[in-house]
Amino acid sequence: FLISSSPIKSGTRLPIMPLAIISPIKHTLKSRLHCNMSLESTREKKLKEKVNNLTEQVTMLKEHVSTLQATVILQRRYCDQVHHHLETQEKKGCRDSDNIKLNGDGMPRLLTSDEVFEQVLQYQEHRQAKAAEKETRKAALEARTHKMEVWMQEDEARKNRNKAKTKQWKVAVKEWEAKQVLAKQER
């Protein structure tokens, strides 16, 4: 994986690194009993020094292993992000592109061969299909624009009719209210 000469693709994954379970690092506090305790022999002193040295080495190794595991975890997260970016980049590259290479492998070819001729024909058909699709989209956009203009004119006419009806209704309401006032005054 890491020494391959081919470029990394989004489908390739890092090998999974197993994480080891590490016992917690215990910071030793020298109690007063240990400080005040007098060691009787030089042998006990040497053994005590060796125990302390080994404890320090184990603590240092635990810290080193936990640092390495943290690095592996961070690298895995980074590789997942890169994997995601590669996937999106490959998806973008897979879209219809006009960059079709007739000579994709870099080897020389006879341009009159049947294979190359077929590729050229396919490319021309592809270009014509894209141009026809573009014209169809353009015509559909123009038709939609025309329909929207007609609809906006009809909508404006509808709004004007509604305003006229509202004015007529308000005039009718005022006439009715005036008749009501006259009817009350006549009584």
127 touches 98 (CB < 8 A): yes
Q: Residue 24 carries which DSSP code? A: P
Higher-pLDDT residue of 35 and 161 is 161
Amino acid identity of residue 85, one-letter, is H
Q: Looking at residue 100, what DSSP letter applies?
A: -
> Residue 106 — left, alpha, or beta (φ > 0 → left; ψ -120 to 50 → alpha)?
left
Would you say residue 107 has pLDDT above 70?
A: no
| Global confidence as pTM | 0.41
The pLDDT of 65-85, averaged and rounded, is 88
What average pLDDT does range 141-151 have in this prediction? 96
Q: Which of 62, 66, 39, 36 is nearest to 50 (CA)?
A: 39
> pLDDT tens, 23-56?
887 776 654 445 555 667 888 888 889 998 998 9
Give me the pLDDT at residue 33, please.
Answer: 45
Please check the confidence at residue 96 and state whether its pLDDT lies above 60.
no
